[in-house]
Every structure is written in C-alpha cells, then in structure tokens.
Amino acid sequence: MSVLTSNHVLPQMLNSDQSPPCHARRCDPLCLIPSAATMPFGNTHNKYKLNFKDEEEYPDLSKHNNHMAKCLTKEIYKQLRDKETPSGFTLDDVIQTGVDNPGHPFIMTVGCVVGDEESYDVFKALLDPVIQDRHGGYKPTDMHKTDLNHENLKGGDDLDPNYVLSSRVRTGRSIKGYTLPPPLQPWGAPCRGETFHHRLTGEFKGKYYPLKSMTDAEQQQLIDDHFLFDKPVSPLLLASGMARDWPDARGIWGGNMKEVFRRFCVGLQKIEEIFKQAGHPFSWNQHLGYILTCPSNLGTGLRGGVHVKLPHLSKHPKFEEILNRLRLQKRGTGGVDTEAVGAVFDISNADRLGSSEVEQVQLVVDGVKLMVEMEKKLEKGQAIDDMMPAQK
C-alpha cells in the first residue's frame, strides 16, 4: 500500500492490504523484477465440494450483516460455485471472510475479497451487486474518474492547527499480472532484482525499514507515531488470508514531507513510472479504477484523513448525520476498531469509487473546515442548526 502522510512518505506496500503481490512464492512487494510463480496444487478441495448439492453447501447467512450476505442468493451461489480464476480462486474463497464474520460493531463490512484481477469478471454476478450496494449505486456500466493533479485541490493549507493535529493521504496499488494477498502461499523462489526505493531521489529519497528486522521498540515507536501498520489481528483480515506470513515482505520507507497531497500525487506517479519501466504496471481499468483485494477500496483506493479534536461536536446528537451528509467517516485515534483518545478523531473520505482523488480529498478539506467552525460555536454555547450541510 502506498502511504504518504503529513510527516513521511510511506509506501508500506505496493500491493494492497498489507500482503505480498505474488502467488505461490514469497516476494518483497517493493521488488521490480519478481521471479516467475507456479501453482503448487490445484483446487481439489473445491472440486470435492461439487459432489454435494447446492443447498447443502449454501451458507446460512440469516444472521449476517455485510454486503456479501445481502447480495448472495442461492441462485448466484449455484451459478458460481464451480467457477475459479486462473490462479485457482473460488467463490468460497471470495466469501470466506464474510461467512466467518457475521457483522462488525462499528461499520457494515463488505464481507468478501478477491484473489486476483480476474475475480471481478469470473464472479461478477456476485461482485457487481456488492459493489453497487457498497458504493452508493455504482452501476456495472459506470466509469471511474482519476485525477492526480494536485493543483486542482482548493485549500488544505489553511486548516486550523489548534484543532487539526495531522494530515495524511494513503492508497493501495496492485501489480498487474500478479495475484492479490488472499491466495498467497509461503513458498517459492525469492524475488530477484532491485527495490524501487533506491530509484527515488530528491525529496522522495528515504530509508527502507524492513519490518522483519526491526526491534520491538522500533516497531512500537512507528506504530505510536501512526507511521506503521500494527500486526494484523482483525478477524476480517485473518479469515480472508490477508495476514499470511507476517512480517515477511512488510516494511516502510520514510522522509520528511510538507505538502501532503502534492507529494502523494507526484510521488505516486513517480513510483508507477518506475514499475512501468520494469514491465509491471499497476492494475487499473476504466470501470473499477485501481484493482484491490477488498471491493470497498476499488477506484482510488485512497483514504485522505486528518486527526482533529472535536470534544463538543462529537457529543452533539447530529454528529453522525453531519458526517454522513459530508460523505465522511470517523475512526478512533488509532484507526479502525479503536476509540477516540482525548476527543481526537481520524476523519476521512467515505467514498473511493466513482469520484477522483482530488474530489475525495476536497471533501475532507471542506468537511473538516466546517466541523472545526461548528466546534468553535459549540465552545461558546451557540447552536449549529444553521450550519447543517446539505447532502453531498
């Protein structure tokens, strides 16, 4: 996942979702020239299941609360259960995390993942309605927009530092022709070639920190500073196979940063050009934008967020409504599944698909500005009814 924050440029991973981009081999995701991969075995387990009737294999989703459970009918299951992608990914692989995890205490989860780019075609009978349900009616005929021209962003350098503590923009990328994290197997030839960070110069030059060789103290410091992902313990990640072989092929690369979105756009394009020159472009198409493991991240894969102090507004009965109207979402200080510490929330864009990178970050900038002004009025004991935003 390429990650750029207000203090560091952090391409934690060039594949999505914190796992290496290669199937049936261990590979540093930052390598330019990966070795060839071979499938060590076929999906005999899935072929065996075809001996049973559709009704016997169809999962009981009556108590589930995720997008997959809403969309997977018995008819769709029957239609897709014998299908598999060239890498061997099956329908049961797609839905496993949603079957194992009926619901989530804070958000409605997607409930499915894909194992490769082809999954979006092979299992489109399920994934199209999941995408439409998750992304606000995004239809199979809709086309995604991409805009990495940072000059199109208005404002963002005038957020009140008394309330806005930090800003960051991050995204994920997958390398075309390689499988995504869930079907990864922990064997195979090591990667051969140089790592991309050696090719970046000037303001993008930094040091690569392989997670496997970090001390516990170094890891914890980077986690506390919000520059490093913690060990994956979420059942959603574990059930989907996206936490395999931790901590191999994980690391961060850092350097100072002044203008978050400018460096995000310019740096990301520089990294993509390096991969294109090596014959490994990012996975992208006009309909789904950048291809990632979880359908929730399709499109830009971008999350632009700020840490902002909102002690009064966060207690207001219309706080959730305000966020929904602004197309924003909140997380705790430490990210998803965490509480806000000192009324500091991580506020970010809710949308990924159908709008551009500039448009999504613009929503964050404009929305946070408005919420800070609301917070100031509430501090003075004033009402904010006249400041309620229209639905974006």
User: Which residue carries 């995504």 as its tokens?
Assistant: 180
Q: How confident is the prediction for the chain on average, in pLDDT?
A: 78
Per-residue pLDDT of 67-94, as tens digits, reads 999 999 999 999 999 999 988 899 999 9
Per-residue pLDDT of 155-165, as tens digits, reads 888 889 899 98
CA separation for the pair 58, 92 (Å, rounded): 10
CA separation for the pair 326, 362 (Å, rounded): 11
pLDDT at 133 over 60: yes
Average pLDDT of 107-119? 91
Q: 3-state SS of the chain: helix, strand, coil percent to 5?
A: 35, 15, 50
Average pLDDT of 159-181? 86
The candidate with the shortest Cα–Cα distance to 182, out of 69, 289, 85, is 85
CA separation for the pair 377, 386 (Å, rounded): 11
Task: Give residue 339's pLDDT.
Answer: 77
Per-residue pLDDT of 201-232, as tens digits, reads 777 776 666 666 777 787 677 666 655 555 55
Helix (H) or strand (E) holding 48: helix 44-49
- Picking from 35-49, 281-295, 326-340, which range would have the lowest pLDDT averaged per residue? 35-49
- The percent of residues above 70 in pLDDT, for the chain, comes to 69
- Token pair in block for residue 344: 């500091």
List, in sequence order, every beta strand (DSSP E) within the chain: 2-5, 9-11, 164-170, 207-210, 251-254, 284-285, 289-290, 303-309, 328-331, 344-349
pLDDT at 33 over 80: no
User: Which has more confidence, 267 or 333?
Assistant: 267
Report yes or no: 251 and 209 within 8 Å, Cβ to Cβ: yes
**Residue 97 zone, left/alpha/beta (φ > 0; ψ -120 to 50; rest):** alpha
User: Which has more confidence, 338 or 25?
Assistant: 338
pLDDT at 95 over 70: yes
Report yes or no: 291 and 174 within 8 Å, Cβ to Cβ: yes
**315-354 as b/e: b if 16+ CB within 10 A:** eeeebeebbebbbbbbbebbeeeeebeeebbbbbbbbbbb
pLDDT at 328 over 80: yes
